[in-house]
Chains A and B, each alone.
Chain A
Amino acid sequence: MMTDDIIHKGSRDAGRANMPDYRQEATTFSWTEARALLDGLADGKLNIAHECVDRHLSRDSGSKVALRFVHKNDSITDITYNDLSILTNRFANVLLSLGLVTGERVYSLLGRKPELYIVSLGSLKAGMVFSPLFSAFGPEPVLSRLEIGAARVLVTTNALYKRKVAPIRDRLPQLEHVLLIDSKKEGDGLLSFESEMQHASTEFNVVATDPEDTALLHFTSGTTGRPKGAIHVHEAVVAHCYTGRVALDLKPDDNYWCTADPGWVTGTSYGIIAPLANGVTMVVDEAEFDIERWYRILESQRVSVWYTAPTAIRMLMAAGTEAASKRDLSNIRFMASVGEPLNPEAVLWSADTFGKPFHDNWWQTETGGIMIANFASMDVKPGSMGMPLPGIVASIVERDNGDVSHVTKPMGIGELVLKTPWPSMMRGYLNEEQRYKKCFSDGWYLTGDLAMRDSDGYYWFVGRSDDVIKSAGHLIGPFEVESALIEHAAVSEAAVIGLPDELAGEVAKAYVALNPGFEPSEGLQLDIRGHARKRLGPAVAPREIIFRKKLPKTRSGKIMRRLLKAREMGLPEGDISTLETDEK
């Protein structure tokens, strides 16, 4: 995991970085100063949408391109800050005309379409809570997330509606309005986004939300139980704006490309809020990952800051440097990666191929923004996630019955914890006070990630302390997958684990035991996988399913996923004193 190849930064890198000297900034930094990067509203009020859109109009930046869409056929649509202001005003008015009151939930189930940005920012303008869903989710994850958040409005496409929402609509009595962006038809509980927008006024006064008012609801998965809706407030924009500035080095003249899917937290924090709060031009590619296409976009859109994920970087790496060398990529100034640890080989490959390395950084849905990062002005140790942001205090601890003791020895393994509070910290899991409380101890937020700190203060990711699976940058909760699997008539019990994968970090593999009357066969295996895909969608469904007569269980009947994983990977089995029935 570690390598001696340190990528050194010189005075030129430091000189042009927004944060030339990390250590100095970390000493003098205060969140009050970060807040001063924003305009705010009268009487101490704060609204994310105002900071992202309207405040730029008074600075003569209205005619600047905010969003540049590269459509699937390579055609381009530009939306200026002026346009975005008008469009989000219209959508805010649409929500009021539908009878929504402040704090109600508006969801999107969309790819990277212009409407996504209009809906998210328009909802925030109107004082509503916005929650994005991943369009590769199947009906079950969509249902649970809409249910938990009591969604009133959902904006999606005709095809996604038919496939993922129509089958579950009757189980969602609170979901009053579904707006389709590509349909003019109205009726049957469906509205046309386009006609609603046409009838709405272009004038709207941004709702003066309190900094502590809920703005965003981002879902994440735990080992057990249903998905958790992490609550984020308008104050989070303080961290989004500042971290965009120092961890992504965003400057107003940048063409910034964040490749994250909008259904996950990165797609909102760094795919919408941080870049717009910093007044950059965002490049948005509507299509999915494609090597040739990506290099073409980097070149043609003169991308200067690029934020992507390890799985994509490893796919580019596997394709070789030739595709990159055909392109003029000299506009790229800063490259960052998030989602899972970026392996040292990929960091070194990027430095060779692009003349500058990918800068890995670390954060979670719960932290709302980047917490640990490799900065533009700082030496990069390939494989390390970097150092804590100014304003963030991190530590490595061991947990013992609710208390924490700090691991001070360099490279000692423990749980990564962060000193509370900070502006983008989650304020709760919706309706799950107990689960929220369990995330904190003695003023520290417990991340659930295992890590080490070296003698220079760099942090190194080790793994998860629980059974949550990290696949292609997405968190998969084993319980959610197992629940869907046992709904299949043939399956009596299921265990889902993450196994190391060269490209995706981890992939989900399921072990299932069958009900009497069912025999293992390839046909049944495909049938179960098809069932899982239908319920969960391609990103969450296990890629592999294997049969077992019995799964290993503890005396209390809990399936020991850890044991399955250890055996699969040929690792020591660890403490198996609680094992009651072994796998067969």
Chain B
Amino acid sequence: MNDKDVEAILRRELFKIAPDIDMADVELSADIREEFDIDSMDFLNLVVALSKALNMNIPEADYSKISTYNALVAYLGNQANA
């Protein structure tokens, strides 16, 4: 799976959780929860959905590494290719 596929899955899952947010309005390097207006529950649901879709384990200890959209893309890319 290449980075593009990973990002497409991320966008799809983000859209399911925050369908009202237009990617064009989002600051990709800013706090993902603020940019997508998602709360702790949504964030957890996102992580669960991504783990399932990408068949990977995202431990709680890594949550601080995925606090922006860009960081999340990089993290998922690394994990998928690890």
Chain A residues close to B by CB (< 8 Å): 72, 136, 159, 163, 288-293, 311-312, 315, 318-319, 323, 472, 503-504, 507, 526-527, 529-531, 533-534, 537-539, 543
Chain B residues positioned under 8 Å from A289 (CB to CB): 40
Q: When the two chains form their complex, are residues B37 and A538 in contact, meaning their CB atoms are under 8 A apart?
A: yes
Contacts of A159 in B (CB 8 A): 34
The contact sample of 29 A-B pairs, CB cut-off 8 A, is A136-B39, A159-B34, A288-B39, A288-B40, A290-B64, A291-B60, A291-B63, A315-B44, A319-B60, A319-B61, A472-B39, A472-B40, A503-B41, A526-B16, A526-B19, A529-B20, A530-B19, A531-B20, A533-B18, A533-B37, A534-B20, A538-B18, A538-B37, A538-B38, A538-B39, A538-B42, A539-B39, A543-B42, A543-B45
Complex: chain B residue closest to A539, CB-CB: B39
- Within B29-58, the residues touching A (CB, 8 Å) are 31, 33-34, 37-42, 44-45
What is the chain B residue whose CB lies nearest that of A531? B20
B15 contacts A by Cβ under 8 Å: yes
Q: Which residues of A contact B20 (CB under 8 A)?
A: 529-531, 533-534
Q: B19 near A533 (CB under 8 angstroms)?
A: yes
- Are A529 and B64 in contact, with the CB atoms below 8 A? no
Whether the Cβ atoms of B40 and A292 lie closer than 8 Å is no
A574 to chain B, nearest CB (A): 30
**When the two chains form the complex, which single residue of A72, A311, A529, A534 contacts B40, counting CB atoms closer than 8 Å?**
A311
| CA of A203 to CA of B49, assembled, Å | 55
Instruction: Tell me how far the C-beta of B44 lies from the nearest C-beta in chain A, rounded to whole angstroms.
Output: 7
Contacts of B37 in A (CB 8 A): 136, 163, 533, 537-538
> How many whole Å from B18's CB to the nearest CB in chain A?
7
B19 touches A292 (CB 8 A): no
> Which residue of the partner chain A has the closest CB to B20?
A530
* CB nearest to A533 among chain B residues: B20
B45: chain A residues within 8 A (beta carbon):
543
How many whole Å from B61's CB to the nearest CB in chain A? Answer: 6
A472 and B63 alpha carbons, distance in the complex (Å): 20
20 extra interface residue pairs, beta carbon distance < 8 Å, beyond A72-B31, A538-B18? A163-B37, A288-B39, A290-B63, A291-B61, A292-B61, A292-B64, A323-B60, A472-B40, A507-B41, A526-B15, A529-B19, A530-B18, A533-B19, A533-B20, A533-B37, A534-B20, A538-B38, A538-B42, A539-B39, A543-B42
B residues in contact (CB < 8 Å) with A: 15-16, 18-20, 31, 33-34, 37-42, 44-45, 60-61, 63-64
In the complex, the answer to whether B40 meets A315 with C-beta atoms within 8 Å is yes
6 nearest A-B residue pairs (beta carbon): A530-B19, A530-B20, A319-B60, A526-B19, A534-B20, A289-B40
Inter-subunit contact B60/A543 (CB<8 Å): no
Chain B, residue nearest A164 (CB)? B37
A472, A529, A530: the one within 8 Å of B41 (CB): A472
Bound complex: CA A534 to CA B45 (Å): 19
CA distance in complex: A139, B45 (Å)? 24
Q: Enumerate chain B residues within 8 angstroms of A504, measured Cβ to Cβ.
A: 41
Chain B residues lying within 8 Å of A539, measured Cβ to Cβ, are: 39
Distance of A261 from chain B, by nearest CB (Å) = 10
CA distance A72 to B31 in the complex (A): 10
Query: What chain A residues lie within 8 Å of B19 (beta carbons)?
Result: 526-527, 529-530, 533
Instruction: Identify the closest chain A residue to B18 (Cβ).
Output: A533
Contacts of A293 in B (CB 8 A): 64
B39 x A503 contact (CB < 8 A): no
Chain B residues within 8 Å of A292, by CB: 60-61, 63-64
In the complex, which of the residues B33, B40, B41 contacts A543, with contact meaning CB atoms closer than 8 Å? B41
User: In the bound complex, what is the Cα–Cα distance between A72 and B34 (angstroms)?
Assistant: 12
* Residues of B with C-beta under 8 A to A527: 19
> Which residues on the B side are within 8 Å of A290 (C-beta)?
63-64
- The distance in angstroms between the C-alpha atoms of A371 and B80, with both chains bound, is 51
Query: In whole Å, how far is A291's beta carbon from the nearest beta carbon of chain B?
Result: 5
Cβ contacts under 8 Å, B16 to chain A: 526
On whether the beta carbons of A323 and B61 are closer than 8 Å, the reply is yes
Give, as a whole number of angstroms, the nearest-CB distance from B8 to chain A.
16
Residue with the greatest number of chain A CB neighbours at <10 A, chosen from B38, B44, B60, B61: B60
A289 to B67, CA, bound (A): 12
Residue numbers in B under 8 Å from A537 (CB-CB)? 37
CA separation between A72 and B38, bound complex, in Å?
17
Give the residues in chain B near A319, CB-CB below 8 Å.
60-61
**Alpha-carbon separation in the docked complex, A136 to B40 (Å):** 11
Residue of A nearest to B40 (CB): A289
B36 CB, min distance to chain A CBs, angstroms:
9
In the bound complex, CA of A579 to CA of B68 (Å)? 49
Alpha-carbon gap, A526 to B64, bound state (A): 28
- CA gap between A323 and B16 in the complex, in Å: 30
| Of the residues B18, B33, B61, contact of A288 by C-beta under 8 Å | B33
Whole-angstrom CA separation of A315 from B39 in the bound complex: 14
Chain A residues within 8 Å of B33, by CB = 288
CB distance from A143 to the nearest CB of B (A): 17
Q: What residues of chain B lie closer than 8 Å to A529, measured between beta carbons?
A: 19-20
Residues on B with C-beta less than 8 A from A72 are: 31
Q: Looking at the assembled complex, report how far the CB atom of A406 sits from the nearest CB atom of chain B, in whole angstroms.
A: 38
Report B-chain residues with C-beta under 8 Å of the C-beta of A526. 15-16, 19
Chain A positions within 8 Å of B61 at CB level: 291-292, 319, 323
A529 to B14, CA, bound (A): 13
Instruction: Enumerate chain A residues within 8 angstroms of B15, measured Cβ to Cβ.
Output: 526
A534–B18 Cα distance when bound, in Å, is 9
* Min CB–CB distance B38 → chain A (angstroms): 6
Residues of chain B within 8 A of A288, CB atoms compared: 33, 39-40
- Chain A: which residue is nearest B34 at the CB level? A159
CB of B46, distance to nearest CB on chain A (Å): 12
